[in-house]
Amino acid sequence: MIDRRNLLKGAALLAGTWPASSIAKSSDAGGIITLTAKELDFSLARKDLPASPFWLYNGLTPGPEIRVRRGEKVKVRLLNELPEPTSIHWHGIRLANSMDGVAGLTQPAVQPGEVFDYEFVAPDAGTYWYHAHNKSWNQVARGLYGALIVEEHDSPVPRANDITLVIDDWRVDQQGNLDLASFENLMDWSHAGRLGNLITVNGTFRPELNVAAGKTSRLRLINASNSRIFQLALEGTEALVMALDGQPVPEPFQPVKPPLILAPAQRIDLLVRPIAGEAFALATQTARETIRLADFIVTGVGADRSRIPAITSNAILEPDTPTARHYRLDMTGGAMGNFVETTYQGRILSRDELISARQVWAFNGVANLADDPMFSVEHGETVTIDIVNDTAFAHAMHVHGHHFRVVRPGADEIDLNRPWRDTLLVAPDRTARIAFVADNPGKWLLHCHMLEHAAAGMNSWFEVT
């Protein structure tokens, strides 16, 4: 593996080499945004070194940032110029099932050379993102993702002070190029997932970003990594948490203590009030060190003494837990985990057969999508799920098409001070209960967002009739 000295040397050379991500523009009178998924040879470290094939939307990483207002229609045309099929999932958006972008469940995969049009209304303001959803463990790790920002009509901060920060980790080789040989490493799939050794923000190693003194700024943090759980902190300034997974918290709050945990696919919106002359940084903690991810240069003078701006909540139905349909999801498998009898593609397989098929995780004794749903409920019913993590690793559980409340352990009543989520990190040997109203008809995925875990068995689905 590349050592840290050479890694930082190569990473420093990386700074500024990616083309800057842009705001997506409608390409015709119909308001359609075209996203072309295409291979681009690029060298992470130096142009004179061999390039590796990244897969990008419109040649950018992250892909073009899509910004709309709450209630507006999103029209995106996906043009697939990759060597394999693909699709796009709109993570966190409550949209029609046919537009959810899950290849093999809600739509056929878009074949090379083909086009697929996505069209949906963005019902909820907040910080969301989009990413490939066919062989996600491969396609997202190569760069197929971007931010989707749905703005409030009464935005609490000006656009100039609204900053998106897409955080990702890349696994690079000794030359600083994407390590393609490790993509199907079963060790990663059966442990914590694919973890990179180079962290970027908006496609750049440790970028410098300008913020204005005397102006409240909003930082939208998105974890686009395959499997890394970031432990984040702002060094040199104080911040208030204003939203989680795109949904406003009841009252902006200052974390009791850092770090802020940001699991794969999760988002955090922070409010900061920069002070003239006092630079600050976004950092992440690892078991061995603190790594600075981005530096913020404060320009101008003045101080913002206005009231903390409020954010209008989204109209999400509250679960009625006394009438809920209750289910249990047992997570098993992985390295150092308990082996249980596991069914894959309709057959009970031995441990060796499961390893050969690369299916080393299971939900309720089933690896990957079964023909029948985990459960089927009628439109409008409340659902509660006990997610039981009987494995040695944490899992970021994502529910498609819905937002959920986390129910206090041992209680059945909803705590309205607990924010809405669409992705929840469940620690080893822990149980989490979630509750939501199944008000979106269709077939919806329920999976671990450690993408290698999902590929290796942690996928299920439920149906709202």
pLDDT at 312 over 80: yes
Is residue 462 within 8 Å of residue 363, measured between CB atoms?
Answer: no
Residues 6+ positions from 270 with CB-CB distance below 8 Å: 218, 219, 221, 234, 239, 240, 241, 242
Residue 31's pLDDT is what?
A: 87
pLDDT tens digits, one per residue of 82-93: 999 999 999 999
Mean pLDDT value across the chain? 89
Is residue 354 within 8 Å of residue 411, measured between CB atoms?
Answer: no
The arithmetic mean of pLDDT across residues 320-346, rounded, is: 91
Say how far apart CA 79 and CA 57 lie, in whole Å: 9
Residue 159 structure tokens? 């656009």
Say how far apart CA 124 and CA 150 lie, in whole Å: 7
Share of the chain above pLDDT 90, in %: 69
The arithmetic mean of pLDDT across residues 345-355, rounded, is: 91
Residues 6+ positions from 387 with CB-CB distance below 8 Å: 329, 331, 397, 424, 426, 431, 432, 433, 434
Q: What share of the chain is helix, strand, coil (3-state, %, to 5)?
A: 10, 45, 50
| Strand extents, DSSP E, 213-339 | 217-223, 230-235, 239-244, 247-253, 260-262, 267-272, 280-285, 290-299, 325-333
The arithmetic mean of pLDDT across residues 9-32, rounded, is: 50
Residue 52's pLDDT is what?
A: 86
pLDDT at 448 over 70: yes
The arithmetic mean of pLDDT across residues 259-266, rounded, is: 94
Residue 59 binned pLDDT confidence (cut-offs 50, 70, 90): very high
Residue 307 binned pLDDT confidence (cut-offs 50, 70, 90): confident
pLDDT at 16 over 50: no
Sheet holding 73-81, edge to edge: 52-57, 33-42, 73-81, 115-121
pLDDT at 306 over 80: no
The arithmetic mean of pLDDT across residues 113-123, rounded, is: 97
DSSP run (H or E) holding 5: helix 4-14
Instruction: Work out the burial of residue 448: count CB atoms within 10 Å of its CB; fewer than 13 is exposed, 13-18 middle, 19 or more buried.
Output: buried
Of residues 221 and 252, which shows the higher confidence score? 221
The structure's pTM equals 0.92
pLDDT at 258 over 90: no
Could you identify the residue written with the tokens 């995106």? 76
User: Domains of the chain by range and CATH?
Assistant: 4-151 (2.60.40.420), 187-299 (2.60.40.420), 321-464 (2.60.40.420)
Residue 374's pLDDT is what?
A: 96
Nearest residue to 423 (alpha-carbon basis) of 395, 457, 391: 395
Residue 1 binned pLDDT confidence (cut-offs 50, 70, 90): very low
